Chains A and B, each alone.
Chain A
Amino acid sequence: MEFIKAIAEHINYVASVALFVIGLYTVLTHSNLLKKVIGINIMETSIFLFFVSIGYVHDGSAPIINLGGGRVLYINPLPSALILTGIVVAVSITAYSLSLIIKLYEEYGTMDIDEIMKLRGEGKNG
């Protein structure tokens, strides 16, 4: 009973861990390079969820200051501001890896990493 209560109190963190493991599973088991990129994106999303959940406060409103007065409880603005950097880096990594995949596809005619390794091995031996 206590365990279920603890899970319910940390439900966002548990969800982010689950997303992280799903992304890692996708990266490890699929040999298609595009699916690996999708897995990396899922892992990045889990980290964003974890960070933004740290800043959440019950009954807190978004950090836009109410100029009319009246003291309101706001959420923590710092994780939200920091995660903007993470989103930009995620977009950059995705774009760069997609361009590398395009070049690999033009060179070998396949996006499967196992077949690419086989082709490379044949090229070396022959």
Chain B
Amino acid sequence: MKKGLFIVVLAGLFVLLVSSILKMPSLGSVDNPSYNETATYYLENSVEEAHAPNVIAAIITDYRAFDTLGETTVLFTSIAAVISVLSINHQDKKKGGDING
């Protein structure tokens, strides 16, 4: 009963998303608006400005290096959160055990 309702709603969502996606420029054409002057600039100047043939490496560690600093901070924050979640409750449990015992 509940599952049937979900299937109907999600089929509606699928039709909606597909009908809006079919208005996008077709896959793999060079005239795609995302292939604009920014991408062309990176492709043309990365060897000259960063001396790195790998354009993606030039983007993430030279042009947008500050962005990557934030990315590594996300990793650091996630590991700090995981360790704190997994360790604080242990201490609480030990305290509870002491009270019960």
Contacts and interface: CB of A to CB of B under 8 A. Distances in A.
Indicate whether A and B are direct neighbours in the complex (CB within 8 Å).
Answer: yes
Nearest to A74: B43
B99 to A, nearest CB: 16
A81 B34 contact: no
A100 B75 contact: no
In the A-B complex, the 6 residue pairs with the closest CB atoms: A92-B78, A63-B55, A9-B26, A58-B28, A81-B59, A65-B53
A109 interface: no
Contact of A65 (B10, B47, B77): B47
B27 A9 contact: yes
Interface in B25-59: 26-30, 32, 34-35, 38-39, 42-43, 46-47, 53-56, 59
Interface in B59-101: 59-60, 64, 67, 71, 74-75, 77-79, 81-82, 85-86, 89, 93
Interface of B: 2-3, 6-7, 10, 13-14, 17-18, 21-22, 24, 26-30, 32, 34-35, 38-39, 42-43, 46-47, 53-56, 59-60, 64, 67, 71, 74-75, 77-79, 81-82, 85-86, 89, 93
B22 A17 contact: no
Interface stretch (A34-42, A48-56, A117-125): A48-56
Given A17-B21, A55-B39, A99-B86, 13 more contacts: A12-B27, A14-B21, A21-B17, A25-B7, A25-B10, A76-B35, A77-B43, A78-B34, A78-B39, A80-B56, A85-B71, A88-B75, A107-B89
A3 B27 CA distance: 15
Q: Is the interface of B mostly helix, strand, loop or mixed?
A: helix
Contacts of A58: 28-30
Given A65-B46, A103-B85, A95 B78 contact: yes
Given A12-B27, A17-B14, A81-B60, A63 B43 contact: yes
A102 B86 CA distance: 8
Contacts, number: 128
A17 B18 contact: yes
8 contacts: A10-B22, A10-B26, A21-B13, A57-B29, A85-B71, A91-B75, A96-B85, A106-B89
